[in-house]
Structure 1
Amino acid sequence: MGDVIYITGHRNPDSDSICSALAYADLKKKLGYNAIAARLGEISRETEFILDYFNLKKPEYLPTVKIQVCDLEMDNVEHVYPHTSIKEAWTIMNKGNYKTLPVVDSHKKLLGVVSLTDITFKYMDTQDVNVIATSKTPLKNIIETLNAKILCGSEEDFKTSGKVIIAALKYEQMKSYVNVGDIVIIGNRTDSQVTAIEQGANLLIVTGGCDVEENVLKLCKEKKCIVISTPNDTFTTARLINQSIPLNYVMTSNDIIKFELDDLADEAKEVMTKTRHSSYPVVDTNNHIKGFISRYHLITQKKKKVILMDHNETAQSVHGIEDAEVIEIIDHHRVADVQTSKPIYFRNEPVGSTSTIVANMFFENGLTPEKGIAGALLGAIISDTLKFKSPTCTNVDKVTAEKLASIAEVDIDTFAYEMFKAGTSLKGKTPEEIFYQDYKDFNLGEYKIGVGQVNTMDPSSIEETKSDLLAFMNNVCKTGNYNLVIIMVTDIVNEGSELLFVGENKELISKAFNVELGENSVYLPGVVSRKKQIIPPLSQATE
């Protein structure tokens, strides 16, 4: 299937932006590509009506196309537990050629990390003769590390609080060395074994795989002394026993430098340049370990592949578009400022809707869109052309819409009425919801202009919130350093738009449309298209 291709419309998406992305992703999948439709904002009531009507799910939200940690090829590393011995961890590291292991709890949540350096440093630096007791090493670890078997006692009896000694002296001399709670590495000399037990040793480690006499084992039971037998010799046993220490004694658990899946790769790179670790753990939002990354993974990262639908302006596109690889653009607007590093497939047609282009791409490839996809494309065409009343509408839009209506099995007039009724009511909406319902930024020469549009069958419904809407627009204008901010309140029934505007360069509207302005509004009969009837005259006025 190849790399994932994200197909996305513009910010503050309208129905055409969402539906064309959904449909084009479906077409790409049918042609063998690994395509995912995405959205850059919340969908409108109208779009929600279209998707619900045809039982389609809205695209997933895509916050950025910058490379994130989740996009990197992470190293899958075996996890270990706090009680795991350093010998077992060392074996895992050598077998898997790992330099660092994650230490997790029973739910696989990250508790710490242990590196080769941690193990070697702690092991080589062990000066504490009571380290087995200090590290609270479980008996199980000692048995596994020494490949031993238990002859007497149990884990419950293991309460060592003393040092590890080797019983190399005669039994008479041992009394001054063995104390209560000690671990004694000993051979098969019965007299020495008895002395160690009577002195209060908690654990006897009998080397050479030797058996222990019954009378000694009986004494062990009385004194609650544990006896284990290891096949190793005394030197090997003494060398290995400290390797039974659990990882929670040597691991790093404080101030762990880790990354989450949605962290940006650039941010991870910056952290790595300030630290010297060879690898770093990656966790999800629940702190579950997902893998490890290193500087190598950042060097070999791939850019995300993106197809832009219904726009070709950087200001309208997804965050991080400059760091992505744009491989296609399907649009019906003016050519703007998106730049690519190499030639791409760019299809731009002077039709009323991007969905018209996508529908015909199905037909050109000998494919018929499924009923739901056909319905979504139809809804977008009706929306963008105001049911063929917009001056942007072409005969191609009408013919395509009729073909899609047949596939979707709907009546255009009935469906359009229900769609506009569901999507154009402004009652109950906040100023922010109204303003950003279908909003775009435009850079026209030296001027930064924002233009939103709402279509309504009841333009009077804007009156109750007009003052609040203008106040909100003023705030947008000031904080965004706009020269002019406009919202078109388009009357679908009477085919005209009231422009509400704020900004220092209101005279651009007067020049563009040759009208006298009210304080913050003007009505333009016959004007229903932002793309064809608002932006071109404003562009000429800025020149």
Structure 2
Amino acid sequence: MTMMDQDRNVYVIGHKNPDMDSICAAIAYARFKNLTDKKRNYVAARCGHLNNQCTNYLQAFSIEKPLYMTDAFVHVDDVFVNTDVMLRQTDPIYKLVSIFEDEKYEYSVIPVFKDSKFRTLLTKESIASYFLKVSNAKKREEIFFSQSSWEEGIGGHFLKKGESDESFKALIMIGCMERSEVVSRIRSVKKNGRKIVLITGNRIDTINLAIKEKVDAVIVTGISKSDEAKIKCEGFKGPIFISGGDTSQTIRLLRLCQNVSLLHDEVFPSVKRKTLFEEAKTMLLSKGLKALAVEDEDGSFVGFLTRRNFLFKPKRSFILVDHNEHDQCIDGIDEAEIREIVDHHRFNSEKTTAPIFINAEPVGSTCTIVWELYKRRHVRIDKETATILLGGLVSDTVFLKSPTATSIDKRAYQELLGISGLTEEKLSSVIYSNYRKFEDLDSDRAVSSDFKIYTEKGIKFGIGQVEVVGMPDVMGNPKVQELLQSLEKIRDFQFLSFAMLMVSDAQTASSVLVSTKTRITENLQYAKIRDGVYDMPGVISRKKQLLPELLRALAE
């Protein structure tokens, strides 16, 4: 079976540079969907690393982090085959044949291991290629013999087992000639240092003669129990096997008793699980291969791909929470299926190929919307889920101080607080424990940890936000210059027209805006403190206060 059933897995994911609301909404909504839709498996995911606030909050309440995803593209990991069916190099060829003949085995290749290490993939063509090669050879065929596989592979029983169970390479000699010719041929072969196995029917004289000449093994066909007693096997070191089939059938089955290691005539390159679907497909087709081995990141074998795996390219399925704009989505969303959007921001979403469920409300937090959906469907909210929803709600509304907070947010807060069993003091201590003083900020991290990109009127720009405890005088503060340099770096890296950072003081519910050079700031209704720095008293919402002001300035 493939590692992932594309029809079942749906990833509930927030925006790039995820904040608390994005992370908590993804976790809580994935839980909601799993409770209300048993046909699919909903997985909470993220497309960025957790900031310190998220990490501390999840750890404080022992909540599992969402799955980290680098992109929405289809990877080898989504389509490769992982089967328990495998062979060892020492397994006989007939075992390989029997697997391919089993209707339950639907694949065209079988992995082969030496000890615990992957060696190659074998196909039906591997068997045909080998036997065509040996049948066309001008030299007499030598076969690898291993008595351990004869009873199962040929059918029959041992009159006497050989003293050594090691496999050996030998010529086959059919004992259907005169005694003198038998002796002559045995001695000729042994003189050249080669081993010999006699296969004969019920010819007691020939059998005993071969034993006397010390052939390496004797296989007898068509002999009765009474005649078996006439075989003089005393002192003979090799095996004497009584086949249940005729001579021609026995020779054919002997070839199938050889180790599958003889069939290793093709090299199969390997790809990693994270290799892109199209990249692996190109490798397979351009090199004319039948299959590819699949490795984990540490180089261990995990499965394989055949051409069949590339006949249809699946799509990963997503539910977007706390965002809808393309620039904020996980990379590769264009190639994925968007099933739902749950958000509280302005809408500038991607086109979808089919109608989808959209729940968008002008509330302070996406977690509030998720709370409403639980209520609407009469789904019980447990203590841990309430704690998760609270984290996103109070973080995004700054404990309901933000102008984005509504009466719905306040009702959600009161109900969730009661279910969680937390006090306001405990919740506040966990949320604010990670807030730093302005002077202690790491500039690069402060800019990038909650940075959102927007496109308006052909202008692409980005706004980050960081919360601090206590806002110092920024007029001559050297930290401002560090932040400006970090903003310039992210502006150039993301090919933006300008980049901004809101530094918000949760205690005073005010912010300072730090911005790279842009003419847009000339039209903003905020007092200039110094070059690139603006005072924003009473402004703590990027979504409801700063962004609308920027859009107004862009329109002028």
TM-score (norm 2): 0.87
Structure 1 residues 330 and 156 mapped into 2: Cα distance closer, same or farther (>3 Å)? same
Out of 455-464 and 295-304, give the one that drifted further: 455-464
Shift of 1:451: 1.2
Q: 1:449 aligns with which of 442, 446, 461?
A: 461
The whole-number CA distance in structure 1 between the counterparts of 2:220 and 2:478 is: 91
> What does 1:3-14 correspond to in 2, within 5 Å?
3-14=8-19
Shift of 1:275: 4.2
1:528 matched residue in structure 2: 540
Q: 1:62 aligns with which of 62, 65, 69?
A: 69
8 A contact 1:190–1:216 mirrored in 2: no
1:37 partner SS: strand
Structure 1 residues 380 and 85 mapped into 2: Cα distance closer, same or farther (>3 Å)? same
Shift of 1:177: 1.1
Shift of 1:340: 0.9
The whole-number CA distance in structure 2 between the counterparts of 1:152 and 1:416 is: 83
Structure 1 residues 292 and 45 mapped into 2: Cα distance closer, same or farther (>3 Å)? closer
Which amino acid in the other structure matches residue 88 of structure 1? Answer: K
Out of 389-398 and 7-16, give the one that drifted further: 389-398
The answer to whether structure 1 residue 437 and structure 2 residue 437 are counterparts is: no
The whole-number CA distance in structure 1 between the counterparts of 2:167 and 2:120 is: 27
8 A contact 1:491–1:497 mirrored in 2: yes
Q: 2:159 aligns with which of 151, 154, 160?
A: 151
1:499 matched residue in structure 2: 513
Which amino acid in the other structure matches residue 124 of structure 1? Answer: L
Give 5+ residue unaligned stretches, structure 2: none
Which amino acid in the other structure matches residue 316 of structure 2? Answer: K
Shift of 1:10: 0.7
The whole-number CA distance in structure 1 between the counterparts of 2:392 and 2:42 is: 20
The answer to whether structure 1 residue 197 and structure 2 residue 211 are counterparts is: yes
1:132 matched residue in structure 2: 143
The whole-number CA distance in structure 2 between the counterparts of 1:456 and 1:118 is: 67
Q: 1:174 aligns with which of 169, 182, 200?
A: 182
1:234 matched residue in structure 2: 247
> What does 1:43-192 correspond to in 2, within 5 Å?
43-72=50-79, 74=81, 76=83, 78-96=85-103, 98-107=107-116, 109-126=117-134, 127=137, 128-133=139-144, 137-154=145-162, 156=164, 160-178=168-186, 179-180=189-190, 181-192=195-206
Q: 2:496 aligns with which of 458, 478, 482?
A: 482
The whole-number CA distance in structure 2 between the counterparts of 1:399 and 1:3 is: 34
The answer to whether structure 1 residue 409 and structure 2 residue 421 are counterparts is: yes
Shift of 1:353: 1.1
Which amino acid in the other structure matches residue 400 of structure 1? Answer: A
Q: 2:234 aligns with which of 211, 218, 221?
A: 218
8 A contact 2:527–2:535 mirrored in 1: no
Shift of 1:486: 1.4
Identity, in percent, stands at 26
Out of 241-250 and 286-295, give the one that drifted further: 286-295
1:183 partner SS: strand
The whole-number CA distance in structure 1 between the counterparts of 2:221 and 2:80 is: 48
Structure 1 residues 377 and 87 mapped into 2: Cα distance closer, same or farther (>3 Å)? closer
Structure 1 residues 460 and 393 mapped into 2: Cα distance closer, same or farther (>3 Å)? same
Structure 1 residues 409 and 77 mapped into 2: Cα distance closer, same or farther (>3 Å)? closer
Which amino acid in the other structure matches residue 118 of structure 2? Answer: L
Out of 185-194 and 423-432, give the one that drifted further: 423-432
The whole-number CA distance in structure 1 between the counterparts of 2:439 and 2:529 is: 26
Structure 1 residues 143 and 512 mapped into 2: Cα distance closer, same or farther (>3 Å)? same
Shift of 1:185: 1.2
The whole-number CA distance in structure 2 between the counterparts of 1:461 and 1:78 is: 69
The whole-number CA distance in structure 2 between the counterparts of 1:365 and 1:157 is: 69
8 A contact 1:66–1:321 mirrored in 2: yes
1:19 matched residue in structure 2: 24
2:49 matched residue in structure 1: 42
The whole-number CA distance in structure 1 between the counterparts of 2:58 and 2:76 is: 32
Which amino acid in the other structure matches residue 244 of structure 2? Answer: P
8 A contact 2:163–2:238 mirrored in 1: no
Which amino acid in the other structure matches residue 170 of structure 1? Answer: E
8 A contact 2:89–2:112 mirrored in 1: yes
Shift of 1:469: 3.9
The whole-number CA distance in structure 1 between the counterparts of 2:108 and 2:367 is: 52
The whole-number CA distance in structure 2 between the counterparts of 1:417 and 1:205 is: 84
The whole-number CA distance in structure 1 between the counterparts of 2:479 and 2:215 is: 85
Out of 332-341 and 289-298, give the one that drifted further: 289-298
Q: What are the superposed Cα offsets for residues 422-477 of structure 1, whole Å, 9 maximum, x if unpaired? A: 34456766433222221111112222212111111134599675544433332222
Structure 1 residues 348 and 157 mapped into 2: Cα distance closer, same or farther (>3 Å)? closer
Which amino acid in the other structure matches residue 29 of structure 2? Answer: Y
TM-score (norm 1): 0.89
Which amino acid in the other structure matches residue 315 of structure 1? Answer: D
Structure 1 residues 73 and 110 mapped into 2: Cα distance closer, same or farther (>3 Å)? closer
Structure 1 residues 269 and 30 mapped into 2: Cα distance closer, same or farther (>3 Å)? same
Shift of 1:17: 0.6
1:364 matched residue in structure 2: 376
1:355 matched residue in structure 2: 367
Which amino acid in the other structure matches residue 335 of structure 2? Answer: D
The whole-number CA distance in structure 1 between the counterparts of 2:367 and 2:553 is: 31
8 A contact 1:139–1:155 mirrored in 2: no
Q: 2:321 aligns with which of 297, 309, 312?
A: 309
* RMSD value, Cα: 2.9
2:401 matched residue in structure 1: 389
8 A contact 1:164–1:182 mirrored in 2: yes
8 A contact 1:110–1:287 mirrored in 2: no
2:364 partner SS: coil
1:245 partner SS: coil
Structure 1 residues 77 and 434 mapped into 2: Cα distance closer, same or farther (>3 Å)? same
Out of 388-397 and 297-306, give the one that drifted further: 297-306
The whole-number CA distance in structure 2 between the counterparts of 1:466 and 1:510 is: 19
Which amino acid in the other structure matches residue 408 of structure 1? Answer: S
May I ask how many residue pairs the two structures share in their alignment?
533
8 A contact 1:105–1:111 mirrored in 2: yes
